[in-house]
Structure 1
Amino acid sequence: MTQRGKAYNIAIIGILGALIILQAYIPMVGYVQIFPAWPAISTIHLTVIIGGIVLGYGGGASLGLLWGLTSLIRAYTSATDPVTLLLFRNPIIAIVPRVMVGLVAAFIFHQLFKKKQTPLAQTVKMVFAGVVGALTNTLLVIGFTWLMFASKAAQIVPGADATNLGWLLMTALAINAVAEALLGGIVTPILGHALLRFRRK
Structure 2
Amino acid sequence: MTHKSSSAYTISIIGVLGALLIMQAYIPMVGYIRIIPGLPAISTMHLTVIMAGVILGVRGGAGLGLMWGVISLVKAYTDATDPLTLLLFQNPVIAIIPRVMVGIVAGAIFNHIAPSVLHGVGATVKMIAAGVAGALTNTALVILFTWLFFAHNATQVLAGANAANLWWLLMVAFATNAALETLMAGVVTPVIGQGLMRFKR
Q: Same fold (TM over 0.5)?
A: yes
Distance of 1:158 and 1:3 partners within structure 2: 56
Match of 2:106? 105
Q: Secondary structure at the match of 2:176?
A: helix
Distance 1:146 1:82 in 2: 17
Quote the Cα distance in structure 1 between the aligned partners of 2:137 and 2:187.
17
Count of aligned residue pairs for this structure pair: 200
In 2, the alpha carbon distance for the partners of 1:197 and 1:115 equals: 14
* Distance (Å, rounded) in 1 between the aligned partners of 2:190 and 2:100: 20
Give the distance between the partners of 2:5 and 2:171, measured in 1 at CA.
44
Which runs of 5 or more residues in structure 1 are unaligned?
Answer: none
Distance 2:118 2:15 in 1: 27
Tell me the TM-score normalized by structure 2.
0.97
**Counterparts of residues 56-95 of structure 1 (less than 5 Å):** 56-95=57-96
Report matched runs for 1:128-143 at 5 Å.
128-143=129-144
**Is contact 2:25–2:71 with CA below 8 Å preserved after alignment?**
yes
1:185 match: secondary structure:
helix
Distance across 2 between alignment mates of 1:162 and 1:36: 25
Once the two structures are overlaid, the 10-residue window that deviates more, 4-13 or 113-122, is 113-122
* Matched letter for residue 17 of structure 2: L
Shift of 1:199: 2.4
Segments of 4+ in structure 1 off by > 2 A? 113-118
Deviation, 1:116, is 4.0
Q: Distance in 1 between matches of 2:115 and 2:67?
A: 28
Give the CA deviation at 1:30: 0.2
- Percent of aligned pairs with the same residue? 60
Q: CA deviation at 1:115?
A: 4.7
Deviation at 1:88, TM superposition (A): 0.0
Equivalent residue runs for 1:115-130 within 5 Å = 115-130=116-131
With the length of structure 1 as denominator, give the TM-score of the two structures.
0.97
For the 8 Å contact 2:50–2:134, the answer to whether it is kept is yes
Deviations 1:146-184 (A, max 9, x none): 001111101101111111111110011100000000000
Q: Take 2:37 and 2:199, find their aligned partners in 1: how far apart are those partners? A: 40
Cα 1:196–1:118, aligned 2, differ >3 Å: closer, same or farther?
Answer: closer
Partner amino acid, structure 2, of 1:61: A
Q: Tell me if the contact between 2:119 and 2:194 (Cα under 8 Å) persists in the aligned partners.
A: no
CA contact (8 A) 2:119 2:197 kept: no
User: What CA deviation, in whole Å up to 9, does each residue of 1:43-69 have, x standing for no partner?
Assistant: 000000000000011110000000000
Q: Tell me how far apart the structure 1 counterparts of residues 186 and 100 of structure 2 sit (CA, whole Å).
A: 19
Give the structure 2 partner of residue 149 of structure 1: 150
Deviation at 1:139, TM superposition (A): 0.3
In 2 relative to 1, CA 194–118 (structure 1 residues): closer, same or farther, beyond 3 Å? closer
Is residue 39–residue 173 contact of structure 2 (8 Å, CA) maintained in 1? Answer: no
Residue 173, structure 1, aligned to residue 154, structure 2: no
Relative to structure 1, the CA distance from residue 117 to residue 197 in structure 2 (aligned partners, 3 Å threshold; closer, same or farther) is closer
Structure 2 Cα separation of the partners of residues 26 and 140 of structure 1: 26
Query: Match of 1:25?
Result: 26
